[in-house]
């Protein structure tokens, strides 16, 4: 089993990376950054997001493991002081894994080119100045004309991130769903949107056809893209999924409670 380590630059993460490398070498695991079977991230959710994008072309064979050096994360199960237990779990590995849905984004540009992206948390479309105006279609059917700051389309695991800040529901990641949330929509007697989060079924897709402004900003997880003149963006649940090596299980709702309420620790 070939292993790659992706660590952030924090002091605790670097120390954990050194310890993990030594333990893996001692246990005779080959380290292979180019074609790993398992990618271990050390840091927080942001570090796992970076590793996901680095290995996005190998998702069908890579399993991820997240080690956190701060608070419990949504993609990180192991603590930095549990390195020995983690290496022991790797030695006893029998291929246990759990997988979660991803978001597939296809952007069409005015010059006829297209770009394709995968997101683990979400994608957003916003304008840097002025109101964003876009027609929203569900499948090929017109749904609404949106005016406001922007729209966010999230995966179930992304539902606890940006989407939640927009008033979105927290979705159990065992559901194959994607959620659209509004970012400061304008709603009055003239302009009207649904003004509520929408959760779509696995065989549905959403298309945005924005008015042709030059100043759109698209975000895909932690990346910001300033695209050329965009004519349409289609969002659907991806065929690919992210796989995590699962040597122990934490209930999703316990994780949610720990991250957002924390009353059990008092």
Report the interface residues with ligand NAD, using CB under 6 A. 44-46, 49, 73-74, 121-122, 157-158, 160-162, 165, 221-222
Contact 23, 15 (CB under 8 A): no
Q: State the nearest-atom distance from the C-beta of 55 to ligand NAD, in Å.
A: 16
- CB 218 within 8 Å of CB 124: yes
Q: Retrieve residue 130's tokens.
A: 């002025």
**CB nearer to ligand NAD: pick between 123 and 207:** 123
Q: Over the range 97-112, which residues count as b (16 or more CB within 10 Å of their CB) and which as e?
A: eeebbbbbbebbeeee
31 CB-side CA count, 13 A: 14
221 catalytic? Reply is no
Q: How far is the CB of 92 from ligand NAD (least distance, A)?
A: 28
The answer to whether 69 and 78 have CB atoms below 8 angstroms apart is no
* Both structure tokens of 100: 């979660």
Nearer to ligand NAD, 81 or 223 (CB): 223
Strands (DSSP E) contained in the chain are 3-7, 38-43, 63-68, 78-79, 97-109, 114-119, 122-127, 132-138, 141-154, 178-185, 198-200, 205-210, 216-220, 223-225, 230-245
The residue from 37, 45, 80, 221 that is catalytic is: 45
Closest separation in Å from C-beta 7 to ligand NAD:
14
Radius of gyration in angstroms for the set of CA atoms belonging to the chain, rounded to a whole number: 20
* Residue with smaller CB distance to ligand NAD, 134 or 159: 159
Q: How far is the CB of 29 from ligand NAD (least distance, A)?
A: 28
CB closer to ligand NAD out of 147 and 164:
164
Catalytic residues: 45
């Amino acid at each position: 089993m070939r292993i790659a380590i992706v660590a952030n630059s924090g002091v605790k993460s670097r120390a954990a990376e050194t310890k993990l490398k030594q333990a893996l070498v001692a246990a005779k695991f080959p380290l292979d950054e180019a074609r790993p079977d398992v990618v271990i991230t050390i840091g927080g959710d942001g570090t796992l997001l970076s590793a996901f994008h680095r290995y996005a072309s190998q998702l069908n064979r890579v399993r991820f493991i997240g080690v956190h050096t701060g608070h419990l994360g949504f993609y990180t199960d192991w603590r930095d002081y549990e390195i020995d237990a983690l290496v022991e779990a790797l030695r006893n590995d029998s291929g246990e894994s759990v997988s979660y849905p991803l978001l597939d984004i296809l952007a069409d540009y005015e010059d006829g080119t297209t770009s394709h992206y995968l997101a683990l948390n979400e994608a957003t479309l916003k304008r840097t100045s002025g109101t964003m105006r876009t027609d929203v279609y569900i499948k090929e059917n017109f749904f609404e004309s949106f005016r406001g700051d922007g729209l966010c389309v999230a995966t179930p695991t992304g539902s606890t991130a940006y989407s939640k800040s927009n008033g979105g529901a927290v979705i159990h990641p065992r559901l194959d769903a994607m959620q659209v949330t509004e970012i400061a929509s304008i709603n009055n007697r003239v302009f009207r949107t649904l003004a509520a989060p929408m959760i779509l079924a696995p065989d549905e897709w959403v298309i945005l056809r924005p008015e042709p402004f030059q100043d759109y900003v698209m975000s895909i997880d932690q990346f910001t893209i300033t695209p050329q003149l965009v004519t349409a963006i289609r969002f659907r649940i991806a065929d690919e999924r992210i796989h995590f090596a699962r040597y122990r299980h934490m209930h999703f709702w316990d994780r949610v409670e720990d991250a957002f309420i924390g009353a059990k620790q008092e």
